[in-house]
Amino acid sequence: MTKTLSQISTIESLRSAVREAKSNGRKVALVPTMGYLHEGHLSLVEEASKQADFVVVSIFVNPLQFGENEDLANYPRDLDHDLRLLSASGHCDVAFTPSVEEMYPVPLVTTVQLPSMASKLCGRTRPIHFAGVATVVTKLFQIVQPDVACFGQKDGQQLAVIRRMVKDLNMPVNVVGVPTVREEDGLAKSSRNVYLSKEEREHAPVLYQALSWAKAEIERGQRDATEIVRGVRERIEQDSIARLDYVEAVEMDTLESVSVLSGDVMIAVAAYFGKARLIDNIQLHVE
Ligand code: PAF
């Protein structure tokens, strides 16, 4: 059934909308976003509507997850467009659009930290990022009290961090990881793709090409993580524009590097194309 979208900007009104939905026996899903929505987000919203009856999409550019030299002020925003997309999707009941003052009326004294996972991979260049994500997601979980929350597999480290936080802190939320949505040439959809020049955009699919090579090698039986990492690195380094940040093979649960591929693993990459820093990954269960 096509849903009619409401926009709610205060915590109190959102709580009362969720209370009413729950009192009518409806299961609640949350899709946390920072807006500037694209098809990747819409696939999260669609999945949320399959998982639950009442879908809340939060749109909040969270200052806590931006470092000092990261461009919070220039992060792309277009609320009207976001609301139009959510309304047209027919899968969202409420767009929760709080202000910074509503979410952070006073400076926080309490934060959620997962240092061993937050310092790995992207955490090396973005040291405060995952504490900011974990803290705002905890606040959103407290505000919405969803039964289910949907996150993109594209942000693989974020997904691992949230899953671990939910497990460690016994949060009663089922975290669902939703497959990455890609452009036709394989580039993962991301709000940050708007930063790419025409030439950079043409080169950016090298990340997916390198990861696809890795997936095929693993499917052919390769279990040596060093070989996979070396092959992915070589392919990205051969590109004349990409500046590689990292390639790593890690255990999905802990984000610890692995030397042998076994169980739930992720091959994760990050690279700069001009000023845009793009990430991508593949997540596999290896027998
Ligand atoms: O993935 C994002 O857009 C953000 O990190 C999230 C989960 C909405 C928290 O601000």
Closest approach atom of ligand 1 to CA 137? 9
Residues classed as catalytic? 41
CA neighbor of 202 nearest in space, from 175, 242, 174: 242
Task: Check residue 69 and give its pLDDT.
Answer: 85
Q: Whose CA is nearest to atom 1 of ligand 1?
A: 33
CATH number at residue 251: 3.30.1300.10
Amino acid at 46: E
Q: Are residues 213 and 103 in the same domain?
A: no
d(CA 150, CA 164): 15
Q: Are residues 121 and 208 in the same domain?
A: no
Is position 285 within any domain?
no
CATH number at residue 58: 3.40.50.620
CA–centroid distance, 160 to ligand 1, in Å, is 13
> In which residue ranges of the chain is pLDDT below 50?
none
The pocket around ligand 1, CB under 6 angstroms, is made up of: 32-34, 62, 65, 133, 136-137, 155, 158
Is position 268 within any domain?
yes
Which one of 120, 146, 178 terminates a domain?
A: 178
Q: Are residues 241 and 165 in the same domain?
A: no
Task: Check residue 220 and give its pLDDT.
Answer: 98
Q: Are residues 25 and 126 in the same domain?
A: yes
Is position 287 within any domain?
no
Is position 1 within any domain?
no
Is position 55 within any domain?
yes
Is position 286 within any domain?
no
Q: Are residues 196 and 149 in the same domain?
A: no
% of the chain beyond a pLDDT of 70: 100
CA–centroid distance, 72 to ligand 1, in Å, is 13
Q: Are residues 117 and 247 in the same domain?
A: no
Q: Are residues 108 and 135 in the same domain?
A: yes
Tokens of residue 111, six digits: 């934060």
Q: Are residues 271 and 203 in the same domain?
A: yes
Q: Are residues 126 and 198 in the same domain?
A: no
Which one of 178, 203, 234 terminates a domain?
A: 178
CA–centroid distance, 235 to ligand 1, in Å, is 29
Task: Check residue 145 and give its pLDDT.
Answer: 98
Pocket test for ligand 1, best of 37, 38, 136 (most atoms within 8 A of CB): 136
pLDDT digits (tens, 9 = 90+) for 167-219: 999 999 999 999 999 999 999 999 899 999 999 999 999 999 999 999 999 99
CA–centroid distance, 279 to ligand 1, in Å, is 14
Q: Are residues 128 and 254 in the same domain?
A: no
Q: Are residues 114 and 38 in the same domain?
A: yes
Closest approach atom of ligand 1 to CA 152? 1
d(CA 80, CA 180): 24
CA–centroid distance, 223 to ligand 1, in Å, is 32
Closest approach atom of ligand 1 to CA 32? 8
Task: Check residue 55 and give its pLDDT.
Answer: 98
Task: Check residue 227 and give its pLDDT.
Answer: 98
Closest approach atom of ligand 1 to CA 61? 10
Q: Taking the complete model, does pTM exceed 0.95, yes or no?
A: yes
Domain that residue 83 falls in: 6-178
Which one of 178, 210, 238 terminates a domain?
A: 178
**What is the number of structural domains in the chain?**
2
Q: Whose CA is nearest to atom 5 of ligand 1?
A: 133
Q: Are residues 83 and 56 in the same domain?
A: yes
Is position 93 within any domain?
yes
CA neighbor of 232 nearest in space, from 270, 283, 193, 286: 270
Is position 160 within any domain?
yes
Q: What's the Cα-to-Cα distance from 173 to each of 16, 76, 138, 140, 232, rounded to whole Å?
A: 19, 29, 11, 12, 35
